[in-house]
Amino acid sequence: MAFIAEARLVANFWLRPGDTHSANNILQFLESTLAHLADKTVGLLRADSGFFDNAFMSALESKGINYIVAARLTTPLQRAIHQAANWWALKPGIEIAEIMYQAQGWTAARRIVVIRQSTQDAPGKALKLFADDPAVQGWRYGAYTTTLDLPAVEVWRLYRGRADAENRIKELKADFGLDAFNMGDFWATEAALAVAMLAYNLMSLFRQSVMRSRVQHTLSTLHGLVLAIGARWHGGLGSDRLLLSVPRRKRAWFAGLWANATGPPVLAA
């Protein structure tokens, strides 16, 4: 899946069999996503380690698209980190470094930002090659390759913003049934998911264009607030009206939603 972070929209999704490798057809997925965006400019692409692929990153570089891609901690990369990293403490228990690293098959070295966190605070992935080294024990590691010239800590913070994509996926599952569609046929399931994605994008635009709230309400909350409103149609000679059952204390707020709908959308920060 691909998301537009600021607009909280789904840019693209592919349904694939469960046994498909995460790196399969990633170049085609990139081209498909860019085609969906048409003439829009991609300021930064963030991707997980499934996209840590030389051909994928080279394609981004040829298109002039800046990226931060989580790196897979392969044996050669672990060795390079162990040998070359000079650590700088951000705060107690968190250290950051950067190296230039050229994997086998790469035509040039790429910048790798490495973050490590004390496992006393966050148990996780260690550099298994160096389990006997006291400088490596007790830390979990993450690495990110990037074309950005920003300080290493800013690269890390920018990538952490990608976590919001996980929140979008949780919302798709909880409110739009993302993981509940199984139509017994691959293409029928993909069609059902496409409708769910369309519904999600429409509701996301509704939240930004009409609701304009700092709180991004879930679909279930919006259902009670604005969607499930009792109403009746009043027809008369030249005076057809839709009468909504809105409590008096909420009428000014509800009327304001209609005013919001006539203006441009406000993208969440």
Does residue 259 carry a pLDDT above 60?
Answer: yes
Which range in 3-12, 51-60, 188-197 is most confidently predicted, on average pLDDT?
51-60
Q: Are 106 and 57 in contact (CB under 8 A)?
A: no
CATH architecture observed for domain 2-165: Alpha-Beta Complex (3.90)
Residue of higher predicted confidence among 126 and 256: 256
pLDDT at residue 134, rounded to an integer: 47
pLDDT at residue 264, rounded to an integer: 64
pLDDT tens digits for 213-238?
888 788 888 888 888 889 999 887 77
Give the mean pLDDT of the chain. Answer: 86
Q: What are phi and psi of 26, to 5 degrees?
A: -70, -30
53 Cα distance to chain centroid: 19
Which range in 53-62, 169-178, 226-235 is most confidently predicted, on average pLDDT?
53-62
Strand partners, 189: none
Does residue 153 carry a pLDDT above 90?
Answer: yes
Q: Report domain extents, the chain.
A: 2-165, 168-261
Q: Are 171 and 162 in contact (CB under 8 A)?
A: no
Phi-psi category of residue 69: left, alpha or beta, with phi > 0 → left and psi -120 to 50 → alpha: beta
pLDDT tens digits for 76-125?
999 999 898 899 999 888 999 999 999 999 999 999 999 998 877 555 66
Distance CA 115, CA 146 (A): 14
Distance CA 255, CA 250 (A): 9
pLDDT at residue 7, rounded to an integer: 83
Q: Residue 206 gets which letter from DSSP?
A: H
Distance CA 183, CA 181 (A): 6
Q: Are 47 and 22 in contact (CB under 8 A)?
A: no
pLDDT tens digits for 193-210?
899 999 999 999 888 888
pLDDT at residue 225, rounded to an integer: 86
- Going by pLDDT thresholds of 50, 70 and 90, the confidence category of residue 131 is low
Residues 159-168 have a mean pLDDT of: 84
Distance CA 254, CA 96 (A): 49
pLDDT at residue 86, rounded to an integer: 92
Residue 57 tokens read as: 């990153």
Does residue 172 carry a pLDDT above 80?
Answer: yes
Q: Residue 219 gets which letter from DSSP?
A: H
Q: What is the share, in percent, of the chain residues with pLDDT greater than 90? A: 44
pLDDT at residue 6, rounded to an integer: 83
Q: What are phi and psi of 251, to 5 degrees?
A: -70, -40
CA dihedral 207, 212, 214, 218 (to 10 degrees): -20
